[in-house]
Amino acid sequence: MKVFVTIRALTKGIEEREVKFDPVLGAPRMVEDSAFISTYYYGNEWHHNREDAVVRAEQMRLAKIASLRKQIAKLEALSFEEGT
């Protein structure tokens, strides 16, 4: 089955992968990558359609931007003056 993988969306983009769904694996939202041995995608790391993958990638992008803004604010507030 073809799915869209978002686990590396911020570095490699949304990847279209061929996967196997094996109910024996025990997790209904877990699939195995057909091209790579022992490579599994869980939960919201993969999506049945590109539209859902784009929504997830956008959420990831916005979360990363927010995280970087927090880091920048901390660095801007940092001071190496004596007594601080």
Q: Which residue spans within 12-84 are E strands per DSSP?
A: 15-20, 31-33, 40-41, 46-47
Q: Is the pLDDT of residue 84 over 60?
A: no
Of 34, 46, 33, the closest CA to residue 7 belongs to 46
Query: Degrees (nearest 5) of the Cα angle 60, 66, 71?
Result: 125
Q: Is the pLDDT of residue 65 over 90?
A: yes
pLDDT of amino acid 32: 86
Taking the model in full, what pTM does it have? 0.81
pLDDT of amino acid 64: 98
> What tens digit of pLDDT does each residue of 11-56 get?
999 999 999 876 666 566 788 888 887 888 988 999 999 999 999 9
